[in-house]
Amino acid sequence: MTHPPSPWRLIDTGPLDGPANMALDEALLTCFDRKSSLPVLRLYGWDPPALSVGRYQDAAAALHLSRCEADGIPVVRRMTGGGIIFHAQELTYSIVCAPEQVGQVAGVKEGFRRLCGFLLGTYQRLGLTASFATDLNPAGERLGVRAAFCFAGKEEFDVLVNGRKIGGNAQRRLSGAILQHGSIPLESRVQDGLSYLKEAAPAAAESVSLAELGLQPDPDRLKQLLVESFEECLGVTLVPDRLSRREYEAATLLEQNKYRSPRWNIEGQA
Amino acid sequence: MAKFFTKEHEWVEIEGALATVGISEHAAHELGDITFVELPQVGKSVKQFDTLAGIESVKAASDIYAPLSGKVAQVNSKLEDAPETVNESAEGEGWICKMEGFDAAELGALMDAAAYAEYLKGM
């Protein structure tokens, strides 16, 4: 007997600013009940462009904050790990689920492999050859070294196209639930991001975007390919949905009290 | 005294007036390569099962919860420069902090090593 695919919620919020985006991701995680909630795939973008820093990064040590302010580039702290990302022309996703909803993945690394698989499928649907860094490491490059700028480092389950890192992914684990978010870069804005860093990150120049690979997919078509890949990879059905009132209200409070506050964004104080 | 464990995979071991806290070998293995430990402030007061510290591995950020209520008396500052110590010896050299002013009766809400081993089998 075969079971019908499990339903997941698909929430497309469109582009929002950095604080609103990060508040919404946290609200989806904190409103999620592993016993009673459907898991979520959210799609979004960033308007205006923004820099995000990882949960435990020292923003003042890593970034020219006065330059960010002068250029009107907001700095927002994620609740997930990882390094600094400059968000501009990208399709961003977030996943909220319990480990048992994605095949009871054992550990963080296996979680990344399971939850990033749909990205490989999306790139493959675009005609690209994509793989995980751990499966394509001919030069014996050292993986997993902590880097201040996300695109300057490679983890085992980073996605590579033609041997170059494409996008970045990070997780938060909270009371048995997982939030993972990440990006598909449409155009490379890495150089723009580098200009705000205090330390050079030459390895970041090796990262790549769809435009640099000669692809400019229609945004709706790209979302459709991503959805198809996600459903196939995880054996689920994505059902278009909206934020619940509870999620919306939680996001509004988080945005006001946390993600628009320098105390969180710059100092990292919850 | 023996170690006691939480369902979120922290351990605590009481020696006199201090209770040493860390994460279990199982948790360290599940997290993978630990790249950062956010140590608590000395003097910080927490309730049992509240967030005590933070830990990052492979771009995943996770909380470490307090196995007992009390006040942070010491932190393992070695982890600032060598967070991988937690991977190497989670239940020894990789301890996170020592707490004081706790109530040993709260151990009743935790698992001993045998119960924790059974708990892991059921996961």
Residues of A whose CB is below 8 A from B35: 81, 144, 146
A68 catalytic per annotation:
no
**Residue range A8-27, pLDDT digits in tens:** 999 999 999 999 999 999 99
Task: Copy the structure tokens of residue B105.
Answer: 């009766």
For B58, the closest of A83, A112, A168 (CB atoms) is: A112
Q: Which of A195-199, A200-204, B2-6, B27-31 has the highest mean pLDDT?
A: B2-6
CATH topology assigned to domain A6-265: BirA Bifunctional Protein; domain 2 (3.30.930)
Q: What is the pLDDT of residue A204?
A: 78
The Cα–Cα gap between A31 and A37 comes to 9
Q: In this predicted complex, what is the ipTM? A: 0.81
Domain interval for residue B78: 3-104
pLDDT tens digits for range A49-92: 999 999 999 999 999 999 999 999 999 999 999 999 999 999 99
Residue B122 lies in a domain: no
Whether A164 has a pLDDT exceeding 70, the answer reads yes
Q: How many domains would you assign to chain B?
A: 1
CATH label of the domain that carries residue B16: 2.40.50.100
How many residues make up chain B in this entry? 123
Tokens 């400059």 — which residue? Answer: A86
Chain A CB within 8 Å of residue B54 CB: yes
**Number of Cα atoms under 13 Å in the Cβ half of residue A190:** 26
For chain A, the domains span 6-265
User: Is some CB atom of chain A closer than 8 A to the CB atom of B57?
Assistant: yes
Q: What is the pLDDT of residues A143-163, one digit of tens each?
A: 666 677 776 677 788 999 988
Q: For A258, which DSSP code?
A: I
* A250 pLDDT above the threshold of 90: yes
Report which of residues B20 and A189 the model is more confident about. B20
pTM of the predicted model as reported, rounded to 2 decimal places: 0.90
Among A58, A173, A180, the residue to mutate for chain B (most B Cβ within 10 A):
A173
DSSP sequence for A1-29? -PPPPEEEEEEEEEEE-HHHHHHHHHHHH
Q: E strands of chain B, at which residues? A: 3-5, 10-15, 18-23, 34-38, 45-46, 51-57, 60-65, 70-75, 97-100, 111-112
The pLDDT assigned to B123 comes to 80
Q: Is the peptide bond before A48 cis (omega within 30 degrees of 0)?
A: yes
* Residue A185: CA count within 13 A, CB half-sphere: 27
